Amino acid sequence: MHKRTMVLRVGVDSEASVPKRFVSSEAGRGEMLRWLRWRAKQLGGAQVVFAYETSSQGYVLCDAVKAAGFECYVLATTRMEKSAKDRQTKNDDRDAERIVQALRSHFLAGAELPSVWVPDMETRLDREVVRLRVDMGDEVTRAKERIVSLLDRNGLEKPRGVGGNWTVKHRAWLEGLAQGDGVDWRLRVGLTSALARLAALEAEEVYLNGHVAAVAASERNAAAVKAMDETKGVGLLVAIGVLLEMGDPARFRNRRELGSYTGLTPSSHESGEASDRKGHITRQGPRRLRKLLAQAVQAWVRWDPAAAARYQRLVGKNPKKKRIAKVAMMRRLGIRLWHVAQDARGPSGAEALAGKGTGTA
């Protein structure tokens, strides 16, 4: 599926599939669904099972297919098996045929379907607000880095007594540089522009903070966020961000499934006699979830004595690779927050059964 086109392969039971193309729009989706109803009626009321791979187009197509009364699955692109030859001869038609074969393997032979959990509309809308705020934090950081880089390139050093970067005194010094006569006017132009951009981004950050607080205080999120926020080092943004990126906590059966979803488990390269060969973490699942956990862990090991002691023990095993200890603590914190959220929210069977997949959503 692309922004403008949908390339389909339609197969009946084990018969050869045939290609179909539709425009990727509301009208195109309506035309496709009418055609599927007509085709199913031709076959005597056949069951229609629809699937497509995750993409930037979200879940609009899945919503439309389910609203039409058909079964729909969204498949994890990273979990679709592809041979070396498939990767060298990739095109939309072959990709669509691969999806047909995945469906047939699941329904006719019982193979696992690499489907993802499809979040409900409320979760998706909440995520839009919180993800904007998380991304805005990155933009603010980049804006500050550009200002520091501008100063470094032109040999402008902080005088003594200014203190650390981005303190009140440091900002006052920067404003003075932008307005003072002791700096070339061209540098003042660059600095003034960079400071104005930073101020605008920080104002947007404050604006989004209010809406993030509203999302966190909603009836569906408030109990879990409050419980997660009580963990030392975990603030409101981390609590609501982790909760929404996880989705319904009840959909994970155990901590291993959650660890796999976060992408913080080691990859495996084992074959034959090599039975304990682990590699780097998989980095599957939401990047924002790992980012939030990485930020929270730094405060967690600083303010929680038990977490600090565990972190030091992990560092002691391999002092040269502190990053491994940090990743282990990120996974541990994620699992802890999952337990807390699950206990606070209680059983959520309806949401858990709505999507059995635990892949990226």
Report yes or no on 142 lying in a domain.
Answer: yes
Report the domain count for the chain: 3
Q: What contacts 6, CB < 8 A, 6 or more positions away?
A: 21, 22, 23, 24, 28, 29, 32, 52, 61
Query: Tens digit of pLDDT for each residue in 218-264?
Result: 999 999 999 999 999 899 999 999 999 999 999 999 999 999 899 98
Residue 271 confidence (pLDDT): 59
Specify the residue for token string 């297919």. 65
Q: Which of 284, 233, 227, 236 is nearest to 261 (CA)?
A: 284
> Residue 43 is encoded by which pair of tokens?
């076959």
> Residue 214 is encoded by which pair of tokens?
């509203």
User: Does residue 333 share a domain with residue 249?
Assistant: yes
User: Does residue 311 share a domain with residue 199?
Assistant: no
Report yes or no on 65 lying in a domain.
Answer: yes
Report yes or no on 171 lying in a domain.
Answer: yes
Residue 349 confidence (pLDDT): 42
Q: What is the mean pLDDT of residues 256-278?
A: 74
User: Does residue 78 share a domain with residue 56?
Assistant: yes
Residue 56 confidence (pLDDT): 86
User: Does residue 258 share a domain with residue 296?
Assistant: yes
Distance between CA 317 and CA 279 in Å, rounded?
18
pLDDT(350) > 50: no
User: Does residue 345 share a domain with residue 249?
Assistant: yes
Q: What is the DSSP string of 208-219?
A: HHHHHHHHHTST
Range of the domain at 336: 222-354
Query: Tens digit of pLDDT for each residue in 32-73?
Result: 999 999 999 999 999 999 999 998 888 999 999 999 999 999
User: Does residue 314 share a domain with residue 212?
Assistant: no
Report yes or no on 245 lying in a domain.
Answer: yes
> How many residues appear in the chain?
361
Report yes or no on 359 lying in a domain.
Answer: no
Distance between CA 130 and CA 247 in Å, rounded?
13
pLDDT(291) > 60: yes
Backbone angles phi, psi at 204, to 5 degrees: -65, -35
User: Does residue 241 share a domain with residue 344?
Assistant: yes
Report yes or no on 116 lying in a domain.
Answer: no
Report yes or no on 361 lying in a domain.
Answer: no
Among residues 109, 130, 151, the one where a domain terminates is 109
Q: What is the mean pLDDT of residues 121-143?
A: 96
CA-based radius of gyration for the chain: 25
Query: Tens digit of pLDDT for each residue in 316-338?
Result: 988 888 899 999 999 999 999 99
Question: In whole angstroms, how far apart are CA 158 and each of 171, 176, 191, 195?
Answer: 11, 12, 14, 16
User: Does residue 239 share a domain with residue 205?
Assistant: no
Query: Tens digit of pLDDT for each residue in 159-168?
Result: 988 989 999 9
Q: Answer whether 8's CB lies under 8 Å from 96's CB.
A: yes
User: Does residue 162 share a domain with residue 43?
Assistant: no
Amino acid (one-letter) located at 48: V
Residue 351 confidence (pLDDT): 45
Lowest model confidence (mean pLDDT) among 9-13, 252-256, 336-340, 343-347: 343-347
Instruction: Give residue 354's pLDDT band: very low, low, confident or very high (50, 70, 90).
Output: very low
User: Does residue 128 share a domain with residue 96?
Assistant: no
User: Does residue 205 share a domain with residue 252?
Assistant: no
Report yes or no on 244 lying in a domain.
Answer: yes
**For residue 174, how many C-alpha atoms fall within 13 Å in the half-sphere facing its CB?**
23
> Residue 90 is encoded by which pair of tokens?
């990739």
Share of the chain above pLDDT 70, in %: 91
Q: What is the mean pLDDT of residues 26-30?
A: 96
Query: Tens digit of pLDDT for each residue in 69-117?
Result: 999 999 998 888 777 666 667 788 999 999 999 999 999 899 999 999 9
pLDDT(352) > 60: no
Residue 273 confidence (pLDDT): 58
Among residues 163, 191, 216, the one where a domain terminates is 216
pLDDT greater at residue 168 or residue 265: 168
Among residues 152, 181, 216, the one where a domain terminates is 216
Q: Answer whether 33's CB lies under 8 Å from 122's CB.
A: no
User: Does residue 255 share a domain with residue 138?
Assistant: no
